[in-house]
Structure 1
Amino acid sequence: MMTNLFTTFDPLTNIFNMPLNWLSIMIGLSIIPLNFWLIPNRINILFNKISLSLFKEFKMLMKLDNLNGNSIIFISLFFYIFYNNFLGLMPYIFTATSHMAFTFTLSLTIWLTLMIFGWLNNYTHMMAHLIPNGTPLILTWFMVLIETTSNLIRPGTLAIRLMANLMAGHLLLTLLSEMNNKVNMMLMMMVIFTQVMLLILEASVSIIQAYVFFILTTLYSTEIN
């Protein structure tokens, strides 16, 4: 019996008092290298098609003609977040992306990298970006304040968006599972059906949130060029 609803997100799995839940973030990475040693199969074909579709989105946003290193980084980021989101739906696997410790570290690292690169290499462009075109002279200081604030909260909004969407679905599934011990057979069947529908919804949310993270980080990277 849970003492608190949020204990479902606590890293409790351990051996010799060593927490092992965070090792779940390595499961997806351990699967990827096997693709380089296997004869191309349907999974590899699907992986390549998804990568090509993501590159088309990246090329459209960045206005590129050829593949470059940035697209590989952001496409790999999409698959990494998707693996963690999707594996979290499996029984007894810790969902790292439902914790701010993981999502905020990831978003802050990307944001700091983009900001440092932009201010060191495109200082004039970054300064000009603080004042949109057509802003009246009397409002320039106010626009600089707004743009600076919106820029500073980006890592937090990225982290909270990913964490909150995944945690909400997991909490609903946990609440419904607690009801199974307190209802009759008919209501139990309805609860189970609702859980299956929520599980399908969570599978789609795991893909959508990885895609949203990919698109937003790509859009942020366009501002430093």
Structure 2
Amino acid sequence: MSNLFSVFDPSSTFLNLSLNWLSAFIGLMLIPSSLWLIPSRSTLMWTTITFKLHEEFKLLIGKKSIHKGSTFIFISLFSIILYNNFMGLFPYVFTSTSHMVMTISLALPMWLSFMLYGWINNNKHMFAHMVPQGTPGLLMPFMVCIETISNMIRPGTLAVRLAANMIAGHLLMTLLGNTGNCIMLYLIPLLIITQILLLTLESAVAIIQSYVFVVLSTLYSSEVN
């Protein structure tokens, strides 16, 4: 009969290394790193960025009409879009933000929630937005139609802007990359330099487009208060 305590002996091995002791470190994955690690430079940089975004969104929404925690929705949205945009720059990684299914699912629910909140709670304010201040009486019916159409297409413009900007750069990089097999040998260094410049441009576009998407969403939310 085997020893009763042998069930507690390390048994999972890989290349003669005992893997049982890894269970002692699994719990560290469940604890936020801010509680057991000194914040790194990247953590401090990201914290600074989120604080700057928080201050800017607070100014865009307005101090009188701000609800507590509303800026964190837009900061989270910025983080999600920025992450997906940058992940699309890696080879063989699916760029989710280049598809309308992803972008419209981000823009449409936010726009609908803003519209429902505005028309339920501030319907007079929403009606006042239909006619800009100083509009002549003869043009008021036309301005109502124009403002209504421009309001209705907002989620579409948000979604198309993000998807089109993500597709354009990636498509150009793919087309240039596919020509590498059939161009002259002395043109390959020029192609590599062009691809590096395009990759730098796409990194900037990834940041700018996520920022533009969130800033426009913030401005749309400020109009319903």
TM exceeding 0.5: yes
Deviations 1:132-189 (A, max 9, x none): 1111111111100000000000000000000000100000010011110001221111
Letter in structure 2 aligned against 1:219 = L
Q: 2:192 matched to which residue of 1?
A: 192
Q: Distance in 2 between matches of 1:158 and 1:34?
A: 34
Q: 1:166 matched to which residue of 2?
A: 166
Is the CA contact 1:97–1:166 (under 8 Å) kept in the aligned structure 2?
yes
Q: 1:97 matched to which residue of 2?
A: 97
Matched position secondary structure for 1:188? helix
Letter in structure 2 aligned against 1:176 = L
Letter in structure 2 aligned against 1:41 = S
Letter in structure 1 aligned against 2:117 = F
Q: How far off is 1:44 after superposition? A: 1.5
Q: 1:109 matched to which residue of 2?
A: 109
Deviations 1:1-24 (A, max 9, x none): xxxxxxxxxxxxxxxxxxxxxxxx
Taking structure 2 as the reference length, the TM-score comes to: 0.82
Q: How many residues align?
A: 194
Matched position secondary structure for 2:202? helix
Deviations 1:62-97 (A, max 9, x none): 222888211010111111100000111012211000
Identity of aligned residues (%): 51
Q: 2:62 matched to which residue of 1?
A: 63
Q: Distance in 2 between matches of 1:159 and 1:34?
A: 34
Is the CA contact 1:169–1:202 (under 8 Å) kept in the aligned structure 2?
yes
Alignment of 1:89-168 (within 5 A): 89-168=89-168
Letter in structure 2 aligned against 1:60 = L
Q: Greater CA radius of gyration, 1 or 2?
A: 2
Q: 1:209 matched to which residue of 2?
A: 209
Q: Distance in 1 between matches of 2:84 and 2:191?
A: 26
Taking structure 1 as the reference length, the TM-score comes to: 0.82
Matched position secondary structure for 1:180? helix
Please, which moves more after superposition, 169-178 or 52-61?
A: 52-61
For the aligned residue pairs, the C-alpha RMSD in angstroms reads 1.8
Letter in structure 1 aligned against 2:44 = I
Query: What 5-or-longer segments of structure 2 have no aligned partner?
Result: 1-28
Cα 1:34–1:199 change in 2 (3 A) is farther
